[in-house]
Chains A and B, each alone.
Chain A
Amino acid sequence: AQSVTQPDIHITVSEGASLELRCNYSYGATPYLFWYVQSPGQGLQLLLKYFSGDTLVQGIKGFEAEFKRSQSSFNLRKPSVHWSDAAEYFCAVASNTNAGKSTFGDGTTLTVKP
């Protein structure tokens, strides 16, 4: 069974600073990987996904993530954070036979300082 770990429960960055949110996964083969963002009281919005091909994936809102097989990681990055990026971020992993059923990490709360 697949699993995913987000080591950082809470991260605080200054507006305009760069951001990296960590995600490590466990899966026997190449997984499908996702990053979602959730604002308070809302559902999840897909930021980006990796299925195959180029290991650097571009997403919405200026986010990108890099799949590193050797490190079993899929870290999310953004070069310059905006105050509106403050939210909860979830990394998720799914098997390569059923991307519809994902296992989620515990999430990272991002706080943006003015």
Chain B
Amino acid sequence: GAVVSQHPSRVICKSGTSVKIECRSLDFQATTMFWYRQFPKQSLMLMATSNEGSKATYEQGVEKDKFLINHASLTLSTLTVTSAHPEDSSFYICSATGTGSPDQPQHFGDGTRLSIL
């Protein structure tokens, strides 16, 4: 089946650091990738939708200058948390959908646990 690889799986860094998370579709071309944030014991909150070659569409309340998203190819999207602070600590998950018909479901990465000290 379709595989989405997310890297790194865990990162711990100091406050003020910028952190980049990669999301790759390994065996299909992903025209659209989604970035989610999940707090402990809560559901997934959609942060933004990125389409290859276009600017990402951010959900209401998500700071686009804080969470930079790049989707430069059909197999790679990146999320950069700029000047991260402890309140940015969370579990970030990406997902990707392929080209073709509208009934393409999402394929999820295994998530990235971000801890800001």
Q: A46-B105, A99-B103, A102-B106 are in contact. Are A107 and B43 (CB under 8 A)?
A: yes
When distances are taken between beta carbons in the complex, the residues of chain A under 8 Å from B6 are 43
Interface size class of B (residues with CB under 8 A): 20 to 34
Across the interface, do A100 and B105 meet the contact criterion of CB distance under 8 Å? yes
Interface size on A, residues (CB 8 A): 25
| A34 contacts across to B, CB distance below 8 A | 105
| From A43, A51, A102, A103, contact of B111 by CB (8 A) | A43
The reply to whether the CB of B81 lies closer than 8 angstroms to some CB of chain A is no
Docked CA distance A114–B95 (Å): 34
Among A43, A97, A102, point to the contact of B102 (Cβ < 8 A): A97
> Which positions in B face A, CB cutoff 8 Å?
4, 6, 32, 34, 41-44, 46, 49, 91, 93, 95, 97, 102-111, 113
Listed from nearest, the 9 A-B pairs whose CB atoms lie closest are A100-B97, A43-B110, A43-B108, A44-B108, A106-B43, A104-B43, A99-B103, A43-B111, A104-B44
